[in-house]
Structure 1
Amino acid sequence: MKGLVSLLYILGLIGTLKAFQGRHLPTGYELGDANNSQPILHLIKEILSGPLEGQSVTLLVPKEGIELNDWLTRLKSPLSIVRLPRERFDESLILSEDMNSTFYEHKDDIILSITDSTVVIAIITSSDVDWWPLWLSVRQWSRGAAVLITTTPCKTEAFMQVPFMQASWATLICPVVKKRGNRTRLIHHKVWTSFPFAAKNKSVALGVWNPERFSCWNDLFIDRFKDMREKRMSVYGNLLDVPILSADSNDSPPKGISFVIFDALSKWLGFSYDFKLNHDVTWTAIEGLILNGTNDLMLNFASITPQRNRDFALSIPYHYEGFGLILELPPPLPQWQNILYPFTWQVWTATSVSLLLTAAMFHLLNHHKETSFITNLITIGQGLIVNPPADVSSAWRIRFFLLPWWISAWILELSYICNLIAVLTIPVFPKKIQTAQELADSDYRLCMLNYGEFVIEALATSSHPTLSALGKKLDLSPINENLPNIGQEGCVELVLKGTHSHLETYSYINILYSRLGHNNRVYSLKEQLYPTYLCFPIRKDAPWKYKFDIGMQRLFESGLIQKWMKEAMEESMGGTKDILLTASATKSLSIIHLQGSFFILLIGHFLAFLVLAGEALIDYRREGLPNAK
């Protein structure tokens, strides 16, 4: 029995020695030596065919000591290989292709941008962290995933802190070796990652490299930002952007939909933040703080545009709106015209023509009574204003003729009375401008505060006929920080003069006129310009951005963001949901509302007086005739 155990032990030892055959590496080997590059090539091939299968990969290798053709031959998977020198120097970037891979040779002191790659793998031939590509953001090479492979035992903490490894997904693979004399034998490769903002245990070993253990993406790249308690974000913004970001005063805590979302994410992820008031209200100043690294993200109104997508890492959207247009309400029609407003002019015309035709037909059918046309017209007209006359001819031809007219007149009468009740207390306005095309064709000009919003340039350079016409009529109002609304008052004044339309973000402009007390003098166009999604512009190289997206997606799908936006709008507008919907108590009808009926009474009495005067004049002349009785 003991002999069998010994035999199995010897066979296992022989298998282990064969497994390490070809992995016996001298200390300080160089990758360029074909005999010594086998372990690294084998490791890369396993990574490309395992967790990174199907991904677009960029491979960064040192220029010195590599037989490029040998690597391209052995690495069958398509990938981009960038060969970089030890020191950066001023030449050009040469591109060539070989087999399934793309080869870049860096010869220029520039920042490469190979953004089509999903993952970048960097090979380090020493234990030093001074190779210059490691001190560039990983986003210069890929979309945010990094794998760093060292060929010599490494200092884990030092490598995990270089900018190259500050990616959303970052993994370090280091060899574990055993020295025997002047020779070094590779035991295995160990996989590491880090939790940058964890309170403790920032670097964590994921285990020994094994293709079966690390067979998919989630095995190689784990969530590094589950714990962000050590992260303190810097957030700037101005507080004049209701309902997105505002405050009751400079000393009051911020509020608004974006701040509520951000605060909820901070409680979920555990990070803290410093919110600093930015007194420069221009968008270029606020966004510049993100570009230079002073600010982590912006909470003010930010729509998704190609320029922002180029300069920032944009969060998933949380709201959809565009730029609204405010116009002064046209002067209402005189109140006495309310009696005509229940019907359109087409209905009035159809009713009048029907009345005349019906009276003419009735006159022909009723000719045997020798009544005048005026008398028959009055008889027919009674069906529109009072009950039909009771003394109707007994001839059935006349009764069958009058029946459909009385039914139609009854429907018209009820429609008029019901509609009249609805419009007596509502001012009657002429036709209003409701579309951007109608505004472009009108004499109105546009006014907008000049704070750097993209819509100013977009209108000026637009190829769309309507937008281009609006851009030519756009007047910019200067910023005045001494005014409560930093200069929006200039555009408001022009709107109330009836010469301009005010262009501003839809929610803000509705709130602005409501707070200024002008919501009963203006109206908002139904059409919005450049409607788009709102988002948080985040620092381009922020590795935790994907955690924001996960949190915001959950808040949106749960309906919380929509609820918070509704509450922010109602609070900002004092409970009013729309600029033209203002709260009003029930009130009695006044003489102003019913003046039309009194005008009809006065006109009727005046006509009756004229008829009376005419009859008196006729009787007076008859009495003066010789044969008068």
Structure 2
Amino acid sequence: MKIKSIELLFMAVTIALTDAEPSNSLLSKLRNSMSSIQSHVKEQHTMRNLLEDVLIDLSRGPLKEKEVTLFLDASASPSEEEILLHQVPEATGIPKLLLQKNNGIDWSARKDHIDVFVGVIGVELPWLLSSPPHDWAVLSVLLIGIKQECDPRALLQTALAQRTPAVAALCPVKLGEQRNRLEFRVFTWRPLHPRRKLLPLGGWNASRFASWDQLFVDRFSSFGGVTLHVASNENDAPTLFRTNSSHWDGLGYRILSALAENYNFTFTLTVQSIDGMWGERRNGTWGGMLGDVYRGEKNLTINTIFVSYPRNAAFDISIPFKYEGIAFVIANPLPLPPWRSVIYPFTRMMWAVISGFLVVVSFTHCLLGSFVGKVSPFRDFLTIAQALVNQSNDAVPSSWTLRLFLMSWWFTAYVLVISYTCNLIAFLTIPKYPVKLQTAHELADSYHRVCMLNYGNETVEAFIVSRNPTLTTIAKKIDKVPLILTQPYTNAQECLELVTAGTHAMLDGDSYIANIVQDSGYADRTYFLKERVLESPTSFFFRKNTPWKYKFDEGMSRLVSSGCIGKWKEDIDQALKRTRYEKKPEGQQALKVEHLQGTFLVLVLGLGLALVTFMVERHLGRREKNQ
């Protein structure tokens, strides 16, 4: 072995120098060098055995059943490399190795998502710790220093450790009076602690660190009173808004306030981003609130921002606290003419059926009457029609056949008259509208265009790349309204004016657009399509690889499961309702002339028809008299 070869070499040099009777000083130096080398070799042998024991303890204890990626620093000596390459994988069954050799990386075992990263570090910190790949998602990091110069502060403040939720470091120390015994000490780092950031956990012992939680302690159980800076926009009710100049409210605000109280941190909010935008990537650069988070100027954003593939790749995203889609608001169609109210109680099909029955029943009555005596088709028709206008017959036929026949018809006519009368009362006072659009497909096929505030191209691109042909059709009809920060609702009213003009529908986030419509006084002139499109979870956005993001996930999960978020949402929605814009029920209402237009129109038509008939009869009477 290499150690034996070194020992034999120095023994031969020592014998040769002794036979040549060298000076005492030279012999003394050689003996001291030999002693130092033997001591170094012994320490190296001890470190090798200690490292092997620790790695095996880890694989059998806290890292059991975990997928581990081993990393060997280039400055590690050949002995440690031999352990990692041969003995440790065989003893622990760890198949994943990531080795740095000759300033290069063997990426054959690299994975973008790493469960446990175990690094064996030499004297110098490798670039993989100081500049890790941006797309790496590492859940836990364990760094093992194998040199006496090991500094846990330096290891735990590397970029890889700082962005990882669970971290720990092992550094060797000499113990005993003669300082001839080596032991690994375990440390972790609490970056948000106001004073004691480096936390010693004690000397390595397989029983002391037998579980995952014992080795990887929760570094963010408390945020230590740190202030988090939130990129926000006040114009996002019901998620975030201001009730006055100093008081904030909204679902996102209440969630963040609850987490701040639980984890001991404070936060700041902004009225809007510098450019007034929400979050769009243009020419490879993120802008708006998401741009502030991406550049590290802010820690997170809590506004309603939908999750998309580009955003998911560029940011850490919390668990969703609600689901929303894009809603469409469109103007109520003009009511149909009031004079038609007399025909609205029945559908066209129903009127056709009644007319058909009237003809068939009249014909049948005439046919049955022909077997009894002389009949008059016109008189039989009047006899049947009288029942539909609540008029009784002047005589009952003597034939029981006709009596039974009329009995069945009178009952049918009675039900028809009652049904018509009940519906007529409602239609006289409630305006009748044409059939409203209810789905995105109907909107796409209509003449309406679609307007939206110019937040960016994210929504339009989502419509364009959608596999739904309806959305791609709508994308071609979208007109963007300028986003003017000084205008109420950032100029949303300009879009709503196009809606009430009947030329456009407006799209935006479900709860946001509902609040704008209600708050700006358009609720009684517009309605929402029943269908929502591009439904997506709404979440908090963090800078990529934020190590404490998981604490927000834990807290938000408890708030969701306990029902707090649902209750807050309901309370906020109720508080945001503006009764001055709600259409109040009018209660009892006296009928007006416009309500009975149809009735008077029937009267006028009847009088006109009677007048024409009178003139015809008078003319015919004069002709007969003259003849």
CA distance in 2, matches of 1:528, 1:373: 58
2:50 matched to 1:47?
no
Aligned counterpart, 1:376: 380
Q: Deviations over 1:189-213 (max 9, x none)?
A: 3333344334565444444433344
Aligned residue identity for 1:358: V
Going from structure 1 to structure 2, the CA distance change for 1:29 and 1:170 (only over 3 Å counts) comes to farther
CA distance in 1, matches of 2:38, 2:265: 46
Shift of 1:145: 1.4
CA distance in 2, matches of 1:475, 1:514: 23
Going from structure 1 to structure 2, the CA distance change for 1:380 and 1:29 (only over 3 Å counts) comes to farther
Shift of 1:333: 0.9
Contact 2:98 2:105 in 1 (8 A): no
Q: Deviations over 1:135-173 (max 9, x none)?
A: 346976543212122224655555444443333222223
Going from structure 1 to structure 2, the CA distance change for 1:49 and 1:422 (only over 3 Å counts) comes to farther
Aligned counterpart, 1:583: 584
Contact 1:58 1:141 in 2 (8 A): no
Q: Deviations over 1:491-514 (max 9, x none)?
A: 223223322221211222222222
Corresponding residue SS for 1:403: helix
CA distance in 1, matches of 2:562, 2:394: 68
Aligned counterpart, 1:117: 114
Aligned residue identity for 2:539: C
Q: Deviations over 1:51-79 (max 9, x none)?
A: 22222222222113246464232224334
Contact 1:138 1:145 in 2 (8 A): no
Q: Deviations over 1:98-119 (max 9, x none)?
A: xxxx3x6xxxxxxxxx432112
Instruction: Give matches, 1:367-406, under 5 Å.
Output: 367=370, 368-386=372-390, 389=393, 391-406=395-410
TM-score (norm 1): 0.83
Shift of 1:589: 2.9
CA distance in 2, matches of 1:468, 1:549: 35
Corresponding residue SS for 1:293: coil
Aligned counterpart, 2:167: 170
Going from structure 1 to structure 2, the CA distance change for 1:57 and 1:425 (only over 3 Å counts) comes to farther
Aligned counterpart, 1:185: 181
Aligned residue identity for 2:161: M
CA distance in 2, matches of 1:289, 1:27: 56
Aligned residues: 573
Q: Say which is worse superposed, 45-54 or 298-307, in terms of deviation.
A: 45-54
Contact 2:117 2:140 in 1 (8 A): yes
Aligned residue identity for 1:63: A
Aligned counterpart, 2:472: 468
Aligned residue identity for 1:81: L
Corresponding residue SS for 1:41: helix
Shift of 1:384: 2.3
Aligned counterpart, 2:437: 433
Contact 1:258 1:300 in 2 (8 A): yes
CA distance in 2, matches of 1:50, 1:184: 27
Q: Could you list the runs of 5+ residues in structure 1 that have no partner in the other structure?
A: 1-24, 97-101, 105-113
Identity %: 32
CA distance in 1, matches of 2:211, 2:575: 49
Aligned counterpart, 1:11: none
Contact 1:120 1:141 in 2 (8 A): no
Residue in structure 2 matching 1:260, options 254, 257, 266: 254
Residue in structure 2 matching 1:224, options 199, 219, 223: 219
Aligned counterpart, 1:19: none
CA distance in 1, matches of 2:250, 2:392: 64
Going from structure 1 to structure 2, the CA distance change for 1:260 and 1:387 (only over 3 Å counts) comes to farther
CA distance in 1, matches of 2:388, 2:265: 75
Contact 1:138 1:146 in 2 (8 A): no
CA distance in 2, matches of 1:285, 1:200: 34
Corresponding residue SS for 1:244: coil
2:592 matched to 1:595?
no
The CA RMSD over aligned residues, in Å, is 3.0
Aligned counterpart, 2:303: 300
Contact 1:341 1:420 in 2 (8 A): yes
Residue in structure 2 matching 1:537, options 538, 541, 551: 541
Going from structure 1 to structure 2, the CA distance change for 1:360 and 1:226 (only over 3 Å counts) comes to same
Going from structure 1 to structure 2, the CA distance change for 1:36 and 1:189 (only over 3 Å counts) comes to closer
Residue in structure 2 matching 1:459, options 453, 456, 463: 463
Going from structure 1 to structure 2, the CA distance change for 1:28 and 1:502 (only over 3 Å counts) comes to farther
Instruction: Give matches, 1:128-143, under 5 Å.
Output: 130-136=125-131, 141-143=136-138
Shift of 1:474: 1.8
Aligned counterpart, 2:321: 318
Quick check: which one's helix share is greater? Answer: 2
Going from structure 1 to structure 2, the CA distance change for 1:307 and 1:241 (only over 3 Å counts) comes to same
Aligned residue identity for 1:175: P
Q: Deviations over 1:200-253 (max 9, x none)?
A: 65444444433344333233223222222332101121212222222246x333
Q: Could you list the runs of 5+ residues in structure 2 that have no partner in the other structure?
A: 1-36, 280-286
Going from structure 1 to structure 2, the CA distance change for 1:82 and 1:398 (only over 3 Å counts) comes to same
Instruction: Give matches, 1:329-348, under 5 Å.
Output: 329-348=332-351
CA distance in 2, matches of 1:232, 1:26: 54
Corresponding residue SS for 2:565: helix
Instruction: Give matches, 1:98-113, under 5 Å.
Output: 102=109
2:355 matched to 1:358?
no
Shift of 1:27: 7.8
Aligned residue identity for 1:57: V
CA distance in 1, matches of 2:586, 2:132: 62
Contact 1:328 1:496 in 2 (8 A): yes
Shift of 1:387: 5.7
Aligned residue identity for 2:217: I
Aligned counterpart, 1:500: 504
Contact 2:452 2:495 in 1 (8 A): yes
CA distance in 2, matches of 1:516, 1:306: 34
CA distance in 2, matches of 1:133, 1:550: 30
CA distance in 1, matches of 2:140, 2:570: 38
Q: Deviations over 1:37-60 (max 9, x none)?
A: 232133122212322222222222
CA distance in 2, matches of 1:60, 1:294: 33
Aligned counterpart, 1:421: 425
Going from structure 1 to structure 2, the CA distance change for 1:528 and 1:28 (only over 3 Å counts) comes to farther
Shift of 1:536: 0.6
Aligned counterpart, 1:61: 72
2:68 matched to 1:73?
no
Aligned residue identity for 1:312: F
Contact 2:99 2:106 in 1 (8 A): no
Aligned counterpart, 2:560: 556
Corresponding residue SS for 1:145: strand
Going from structure 1 to structure 2, the CA distance change for 1:390 and 1:221 (only over 3 Å counts) comes to farther
CA distance in 2, matches of 1:411, 1:361: 20
Contact 1:448 1:502 in 2 (8 A): yes
CA distance in 1, matches of 2:38, 2:187: 24
Aligned residue identity for 1:401: F
2:99 matched to 1:83?
yes
2:160 matched to 1:144?
no
Going from structure 1 to structure 2, the CA distance change for 1:46 and 1:389 (only over 3 Å counts) comes to farther
Shift of 1:461: 3.0
Aligned counterpart, 1:479: 483
Aligned counterpart, 1:107: none
Corresponding residue SS for 1:394: coil
Aligned counterpart, 2:229: 234
Q: Say which is worse superposed, 144-153 or 333-342, in terms of deviation.
A: 144-153
Shift of 1:335: 0.8
Shift of 1:490: 3.4
Corresponding residue SS for 1:592: helix
TM-score (norm 2): 0.83
Q: Deviations over 1:277-299 (max 9, x none)?
A: 33422123210111111111112
Aligned residue identity for 2:345: P
